[in-house]
């Protein structure tokens, strides 16, 4: 008898629970109020940051981001538009930063005469930046800030 009423209570609780869940619109920062089984409207595309001002790296190993628009830049077997400014021989005229010397190394650490084929496709690591509003906030702290926080005023 107790068992029967317990089951009935459980069924009622589940029914009420699913009812209220279904009635609720799931509102998350990423999706907005769009129901889970619908595709919401795409946010408008933002334009790329095009200042040409070099941006600080967040950590030493970070591939520098591209501070300009690269729309229509062809990087394939035939040509590499980036290198027409960033190649060693082109930097005097273009005043663009030269491709890092590490990109001349092959997998055995030997330096080649020009860009190593495995480092040829720039946009595998280097990306342009958009002025987009990040849907998830980021509390990344760079190492300098963290060290000075650990020993305020102390030696680093």
Biggest CA-to-CA distance, the chain: 91
3-state SS assignment for residue 149: helix
DSSP 8-state code for residue 138: -
d(CA 154, CA 156): 6
Shortest distance, position 76 Cβ to other proteins, whole Å:
8
Q: Which of 18, 25, 46, 51 binds other proteins (CB under 8 A)?
A: 51
Phi, psi dihedral angles at 14 (to 5 degrees):
-65, -40
Question: Among the residues of 75-138, which ranges form H helices?
Answer: 83-86, 91-94
Nearer to other proteins (CB atom), residue 114 or residue 148: 114
Nearer to other proteins (CB atom), residue 18 or residue 52: 52
Shortest distance, position 74 Cβ to other proteins, whole Å:
5
Which residues 106-145 are close enough to bind other proteins by CB under 8 A? 114-115
Q: Which of 21, 36, 56, 77 binds other proteins (CB under 8 A)?
A: 77
d(CA 65, CA 54): 8
Question: Which window, 7-15, 29-37, 46-54, 136-144, contacts other proteins (CB under 8 A)?
Answer: 46-54
If binding is defined by CB under 8 A, does position 101 make contact with other proteins? no
Nearer to other proteins (CB atom), residue 72 or residue 109: 72
Contact by Cβ (8 Å): 55, 65: yes
Tokens 């981001």 locate to: 65
Contact by Cβ (8 Å): 54, 97: yes
Shortest distance, position 84 Cβ to other proteins, whole Å:
6
| Binding interface with other proteins (CB under 8 A) | 50-53, 68-69, 71-72, 74, 77-81, 83-84, 87, 90, 94-95, 114-115
């Amino acid at each position: 008898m107790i068992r029967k009423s317990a089951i009935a209570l459980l069924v009622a609780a589940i029914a009420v629970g699913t009812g209220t869940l279904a009635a609720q619109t799931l509102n998350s920062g990423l999706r907005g109020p769009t129901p889970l089984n619908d595709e919401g409207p795409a946010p408008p595309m933002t334009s790329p940051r095009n200042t040409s001002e070099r941006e600080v790296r967040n950590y030493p190993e970070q591939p520098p981001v591209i501070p300009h628009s690269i729309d229509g830049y062809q990087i394939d077997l035939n040509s590499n538009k980036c290198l027409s400014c960033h190649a060693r021989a082109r930097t005097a005229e273009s005043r663009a930063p030269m491709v890092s010397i590490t990109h001349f190394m092959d997998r055995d650490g030997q330096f080649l005469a020009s860009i190593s084929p495995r480092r040829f496709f720039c946009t595998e690591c280097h990306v342009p930046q958009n002025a987009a509003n990040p849907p998830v906030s980021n509390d990344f702290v760079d190492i300098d800030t963290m060290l000075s926080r650990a020993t305020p005023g102390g030696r680093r």
